[in-house]
A and B are shown apart, each in its own frame.
Chain A
Amino acid sequence: MSEAAADSSADLVAAVKILPEFRGETSWEVPKERLVELMTALKKEGMTYLVDITAVDNQGEDPRFEVVYELCDLSSRKHLRVKTRAAEGEPVPSVCSVWKGADWHEREAWDMVGVKFSGHPDLRRILMWDGYPHHPLRKDFPLEGLPTEMPDIAFTAKAPLEGGPFVTSPAPFSHEREPRAHPAEERSL
């Protein structure tokens, strides 16, 4: 695959960083400025099926967000993951012009994680309603939600979590990872 991209442009290849293989899956990382160029070239090379787009919030890292594209070449039965990174507020170029199916995936990434896509024809919220102020899948957004109010459209409230589902938090030490009840001040709706 990499030589395929090579004949389209040598410095595009230089821009791509090949990440170590994990469980037999190939991942590339590309700076977001070259993303559309790379995707167009890849689609020409047979990666006709865009499986999924995921946005990941790595809070505390710089740049904060990671956008992950899963691609699939159906004729040679290959899978490829392309990743790009963006800081908060920085838009990632949209790949809607390459695959039409990217439209909803990018809207979802914007809605849930709050990554903007430049050049997207219609970047609205998709799962939550227009006007909802938060991006729920950000790490600093609490699971129980935050109260909001939009007359005639929707409202939200905090969900009571006490005694609710087991909640563990990722931590290096096992005693910190044990499921715990939430502190008293969080326990009222």
Chain B
Amino acid sequence: MAGTITGAMGYNSKVEGNIVLTTLDAAVNWMRKNSLWPMPMGLACCAIELMASASSRFDIARFGAEVMRFSPRQSDLMIVAGTVTYKMALATKRIWDQMAEPKWCIAMGACASTGGMYRSYAVLQGIDHLVPVDVYVSGCPPRPEAVLEALMTLQDKIARSRGVVLNQKQAA
């Protein structure tokens, strides 16, 4: 976006064309959406496709989301990839609670979205019972392309969000 500003005193023709005016919202959103650090909640088979989307052929780094952090405190996007069982459910919730705001969640695959093919006594029927989900990805497992698409959808959503400053005031 903006280049370096040299010679700050008075009018400087070099500055012209190097400044972009925008709203604070748009600037902050732009930064947020292009540096999503995912927390890969790799629970089951879908995690393998998540790994595939992070590695050589699909390369999630093109969307600025290659920094997989296994520490919830360093990440802002939780990708729930896999079957959430009841035994795991509250642990997942706890990890979500430990993530700092602002945070987003992608439910990857049929299991994380709805319980998928596991209609049984041991499986939570969708992570949205516990955690607010921003993007659902269908498929069992979704192809890596679908994961990237979900990431782009989420980026659009972040770009459209408003009231960054207001929210922080309210939170304080």
Q: State which of A129, A141, A155 has its C-beta within 8 Å of the C-beta of B121.
A: A141
Q: Are A155 and B119 in contact (CB under 8 A)?
A: no
Instruction: Kindly supply a per-residue 1/0 record for chain B positions 82-116, scoring 1 wherever the CB is within 8 Å of any chain A CB and 0 otherwise.
Output: 00001101100000000000000000000000010
Q: Are B117 and A159 in contact (CB under 8 A)?
A: no
Given contacts A128-B122, A144-B121, contact A155 B87 (CB under 8 A): no
Closest to A164 in B: B119
Which of A142, A152, A155 has its CB near the most chain B CB atoms (within 10 A)? A155
- Chain A residues with CB below 8 A from B125, complex form: 157, 159-160, 189
Shortest CB-to-CB span from B117 to chain A, Å, is: 7
- Chain B residues with CB below 8 A from A128, complex form: 87, 122
Q: Are B89 and A154 in contact (CB under 8 A)?
A: yes
- Chain A residues with CB below 8 A from B90, complex form: 152-155
Count of residues in B whose CB is under 8 Å from the partner chain: 12
- Chain A residues with CB below 8 A from B87, complex form: 128-129, 154
- Chain B residues with CB below 8 A from A152, complex form: 90
Taking the complex as formed, is A136 at the interface, i.e. its CB lies under 8 A from any CB of chain B?
A: yes
A134 to B117, CA, bound (A): 22
Tell me what chain B mostly uses at the interface: helix, strand, loop, or mixed.
Answer: loop
Taking the complex as formed, is A179 at the interface, i.e. its CB lies under 8 A from any CB of chain B?
A: no
A142 to B121, CA, bound (A): 8
Shortest CB-to-CB span from B123 to chain A, Å, is: 7
- Chain A residues with CB below 8 A from B89, complex form: 154-155
Q: Are B119 and A146 in contact (CB under 8 A)?
A: no
A79 to B90, CA, bound (A): 43
Instruction: Kindly supply a per-residue 1/0 record for chain A positions 148-163, scoring 1 wherever the CB is within 8 Å of any chain B CB and 0 otherwise.
Output: 0000111111011100
Q: State which of A141, A154, A160 has its C-beta within 8 Å of the C-beta of B86.
A: A154
- Chain B residues with CB below 8 A from A63, complex form: none
Q: Are B120 and A159 in contact (CB under 8 A)?
A: yes
Q: Are B115 and A156 in contact (CB under 8 A)?
A: no
Taking the complex as formed, is A145 at the interface, i.e. its CB lies under 8 A from any CB of chain B?
A: yes
A132 to B133, CA, bound (A): 28
Q: Are B86 and A159 in contact (CB under 8 A)?
A: no
Interface residues in A100-135 (C-beta closer than 8 Å to B): 128-129, 134
Interface residues in B24-68 (C-beta closer than 8 Å to A): none
A156 to B88, CA, bound (A): 11
A143-B120, A159-B123 provided; 17 other pairs, C-beta below 8 A? A128-B122, A134-B121, A136-B122, A142-B121, A143-B121, A145-B121, A154-B86, A154-B89, A154-B90, A155-B86, A155-B90, A157-B125, A159-B115, A159-B125, A160-B125, A161-B119, A165-B117
* A interface list, Cβ under 8 A from B: 128-129, 134, 136, 141-146, 152-157, 159-161, 164-165, 189
Please give me the 7 A-B residue pairs with the lowest Cβ-Cβ distance, nearest first.
A145-B121, A164-B119, A159-B119, A156-B86, A154-B86, A136-B121, A154-B87
Give me 11 A-to-B residue pairs in the complex whose CB atoms sit less than 8 angstroms apart, sorted by A's number: A142-B121, A143-B119, A143-B120, A145-B120, A146-B121, A152-B90, A154-B87, A154-B89, A155-B86, A157-B125, A164-B119
